[in-house]
Chains A and B, each alone.
Chain A
């Protein structure tokens, strides 16, 4: 007497038109999806992906008021931001209007509605451009820069940060200039331009130190640590991270501590120090729990931990950690990150020589197209998929997926990634 079976997510989503107004419903549906208890120990259990989870329509119906409430709250907050902007305008307080408009954009960004956020920031910038005080313009440009990075529009992002920096320097706005340098470094890092990123972070660090801005200096040192690790200068990376950690630990900034420790784990892993890496990730998780819940951060740390286990052949632990990461992505409404989780799941099955692991890559590609909408993400999945097929001796398929990855990296101008794929294609042909 257990009632009707749940509807599979793959079928449920097939019934849902691709409309923006239905996005919250899509998110709700996915967040309440659970593995069918009958599959827990079945032979298909290890291959369970989001699409195979089940949803009960009655539970969805029951949760609808919560969803409506959240939507109403968000819309109310947006409307209030607009009314505040209008009131500021009435008081001839244009800076207040910019601030309210930027808040509207941030509210949209929090829900990953980047295009909508950009629209708010565009209006904020237009208002700010008419002001004598240039700081609101500096801030609007920085906000626009980051939303462009989130949309994968790196060149546009860099252009906004560049303008923000020029204005901040002209106005002797040290905080604004530091923020712009950080943004320029992030834009360069996202495009794989490491020397450029390093130069911007260093410049930002000097400014932050001069202004006594410990929090931003710590962040910049962490980013410099990331860069040094990527460039293979592991001793320098260790120094940067140690200094970042010292800055944050004294202030007890939990989220930043978690980020630094997660990066420390990656550095230790690269140094082949697996136990310290694992300890750093575990401590990072503990810090992430102390701050405000940041599902994206928690998921990143868990994925790092799983990668460490995967690299050291602890496949059982890697799988368990990935399943926890999957749950964080679903429960924490960061579903687009499932792409990364499923790609790693596929790699794990590849390491076991398990052909059925292809289901994870197929699901990752589907989610990359539907939720992440980032070509870079899609390219990375195809790259991993190609390697998986190659591992199983399916060279024709491996070549086809790697060629697709090369094509995508090409279109994005990601030269280093393209070169790696090219080398793998040559190896297959040889």
Chain B
């Protein structure tokens, strides 16, 4: 390629190269004492070469004021004597800050536990004191590289409206669901919808109702697991005034409310055996009695039940009545996990981005390749519900017409951070790998050591020792 004057372009000068590098605004938060002294001085020396604009704050409260007053790209925070607590406060503080600045935590000899927690929380990096220039610059380079994301237009989606919800997806697994749904909707047969949490069981139940013979009646949903056990019976069957403490008025239960329509019993496995017996009677006899009332009331409802549990296993453990199971599972629809739905992820993402962009008055037309990659790489244990939640949170913080990786929640960005920029060419030491796996299993068991030890196949004392060793 030649210039208009027919001369080869000269290589960019050092000054030009510097100009091409994006300027980063950095807030350094470090007190005077300890290993942090001299840090600011060093940073000021490095700032000129690295196209960095620096400011400082002596502590978290003063930093909060500065964060509210301007936009920052990166916060370099020196953690104190209690680095875990300090990190928690920093993460909490940055949640409410505009512009999504990235956090670099600096600590005196950070433990592996701290590093893992920081990674999981989307912290850009954890560096140790004394701070090394190359480590800091490498972390900052990752912030700059975010600017190179390419926008991908959102695909067109044809959602099947289901009341306030929609069925979205064209994967073979979902096509099978649609076919079964179409076959069962026309009848009044009781349906059991099974699938992991967040796979859309209520949407399917609504679709059956809306396409069935009772579509003109009400669709009444009851979440059996959400309601305290002592209130569930009166919620379902109603009660007479004064029948128990708190029965301040006569109450019409959900069975009666759903008369002529559909009653959707979600998370049915969470019901006590006593209540299961009453449900069985209502299904068999098609009549109920209000709590504290002697009158038998006929009910004409279509029943759809749903669960994320294995009911057959619950029957084996005598936690679920077998007769009720066969009454409910006249037709069973099994919903696939999001991970089994292939490109539906992209369609659902597009659908939710548009939905929330409209709700929050944003003009988002695309998603960056990197954000998409992060979405594709996530495990989605909460399936579509988790995706919806992630997209909603991301749309709220997005400022331009593209949803970028920086808009995604910290947990997703953390997954990326865990894999990049490792000094030894991306390879982990055995200890690091072990620590990461233990941390992952502990996360899975919500920190329950007994359960984690069982999964890992080691004694709980061994696990406790390793947790101490790795600072988990």
Which residues of A are interface residues toward B (Cβ below 8 A)? 1-3, 10-11, 34-49, 51-52, 56, 58-59, 254, 257, 275, 278-279, 282-283, 285-287, 289-290, 316-317, 320, 324, 356, 359, 362-363, 365, 396-397, 400-401, 404
Known: A290-B61, A316-B392, A397-B249. A47 touches B226 (CB 8 A): yes
Mark contacts of B384-401 with chain A using CB atoms, 8 A cut-off: 1 yes-contact digit, 0 otherwise.
011000001100100000
Contact of B228 among A10, A35, A36, A287 (CB under 8 A): A10
A246, chain B: closest CB distance, angstroms? 15
Which residues of B are interface residues toward A (Cβ below 8 A)? 59-61, 63-65, 68, 85, 89, 92-93, 95-97, 197-198, 201-202, 223-229, 231, 246, 248-251, 266-267, 270, 308, 381-383, 385-386, 392-393, 396, 444-451, 454-455
Residue numbers in B under 8 Å from A356 (CB-CB): 223, 226-227
B228–A279 CB distance below 8 A:
no
B249–A290 CB distance below 8 A:
no
A34–B446 CB distance below 8 A:
yes
Known interface pairs A2-B451, A275-B68, A285-B89; 18 further A-B residue pairs with C-beta atoms within 8 A, sorted by A's residue number: A11-B229, A41-B385, A42-B197, A42-B225, A43-B225, A43-B226, A44-B224, A52-B228, A56-B448, A59-B448, A286-B59, A286-B63, A290-B61, A356-B226, A362-B231, A397-B248, A397-B249, A401-B248
Chain A residue nearest in CB terms to B235? A358
A406, chain B: closest CB distance, angstroms? 13
Known: A44-B226, A282-B68. A289 touches B451 (CB 8 A): no
Chain B residue nearest in CB terms to A51? B228
Q: How far is A359 from B226 in the complex, measured between Cα atoms in Å?
A: 7
A290–B59 CB distance below 8 A:
yes
Residue numbers in B under 8 Å from A362 (CB-CB): 228, 231, 246
B454–A396 CB distance below 8 A:
no
A56–B60 CB distance below 8 A:
no
A290–B60 CB distance below 8 A:
yes
Contact of B225 among A39, A287, A396 (CB under 8 A): A39
B134, chain A: closest CB distance, angstroms? 31
Contact of B450 among A56, A254, A320, A401 (CB under 8 A): A56
Known: A37-B444, A59-B450. A363 touches B198 (CB 8 A): no
> 10 A-B Cβ contacts within 8 A?
A1-B455, A2-B455, A38-B308, A47-B223, A47-B226, A282-B93, A283-B61, A286-B64, A359-B227, A362-B246
A41–B92 CB distance below 8 A:
no
Residue numbers in B under 8 Å from A2 (CB-CB): 445, 451, 454-455
A386, chain B: closest CB distance, angstroms? 10
Known: A2-B455, A289-B89, A324-B92. A316 touches B396 (CB 8 A): yes
Contact of A283 among B64, B308, B385 (CB under 8 A): B64
Q: How far is A254 from B445 in the complex, measured between Cα atoms in Å?
A: 37
B248–A400 CB distance below 8 A:
yes
Residue numbers in B under 8 Å from A396 (CB-CB): 249-250
Residue numbers in A under 8 Å from B68 (CB-CB): 275, 279, 282-283
Residue numbers in A under 8 Å from B61 (CB-CB): 254, 257, 283, 286-287, 290
Known: A41-B198, A42-B197. A286 touches B60 (CB 8 A): yes
The 4 closest A-B pairs by CB, nearest first: A41-B382, A47-B226, A400-B248, A44-B225
Q: How far is A41 from B85 in the complex, measured between Cα atoms in Å?
A: 27
Chain B residue nearest in CB terms to A35? B446
Contact of A41 among B63, B231, B381 (CB under 8 A): B381
A296, chain B: closest CB distance, angstroms? 17
B432, chain A: closest CB distance, angstroms? 25
B448–A289 CB distance below 8 A:
no
Q: How far is A391 from B469 in the complex, measured between Cα atoms in Å?
A: 54
Q: How far is A41 from B444 in the complex, measured between Cα atoms in Å?
A: 13
Chain B residue nearest in CB terms to A278? B96
Chain B residue nearest in CB terms to A401? B248
Q: How far is A324 from B88 in the complex, measured between Cα atoms in Å?
A: 12
B230, chain A: closest CB distance, angstroms? 8
Chain A residue nearest in CB terms to B94? A282
Chain B residue nearest in CB terms to A45? B197
Q: How far is A320 from B389 in the complex, measured between Cα atoms in Å?
A: 12
A1–B450 CB distance below 8 A:
no
